[in-house]
């Protein structure tokens, strides 16, 4: 997923979660309340970047979770 698709997915999610907001308000809300919050939490915890081996292990765990695979397929279909 490139950055453009990433932004489009945030727009789609924002529109579905906050239909009463304008698209700009909904996206801003998600960024401010969710994404920036997570960034600040990571800074406080001083989380180190995972190694390649840890990335692969996490990916394998995700792929074993059928519900996570279905969610991923759903979002990929939205983007296409």
**27-59 residue pLDDT tens:** 888 888 878 887 787 777 765 677 888 878 877
Dist. CA 50–CA 4, nearest whole Å? 24
CA distance from start to end of the chain: 11
Q: Where are the domains of the chain?
A: 1-47, 50-80
Per cent of the chain over pLDDT 70 is: 78
Dist. CA 62–CA 44, nearest whole Å? 26
Q: What is the mean pLDDT of the chain?
A: 79
pTM above 0.85, yes or no: no
Task: Render the burial of 29-55: b for 16+ CB within 10 Å, e for the rest.
Answer: ebeeeeeeeeeeeeeeeeeeeeeeeee
pLDDT at 68: 66
């Amino acid at each position: 997923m490139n950055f453009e698709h990433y932004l489009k997915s945030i727009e789609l999610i924002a529109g579905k979660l906050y239909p009463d907001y304008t698209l700009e308000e909904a996206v801003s809300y998600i960024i401010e309340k969710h994404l920036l919050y997570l960034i600040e939490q990571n800074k406080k915890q001083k989380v180190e970047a995972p190694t390649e081996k840890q990335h692969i292990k996490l990916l394998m765990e995700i792929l074993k979770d059928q519900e996570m695979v279905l969610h991923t397929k759903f979002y990929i279909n939205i983007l296409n």
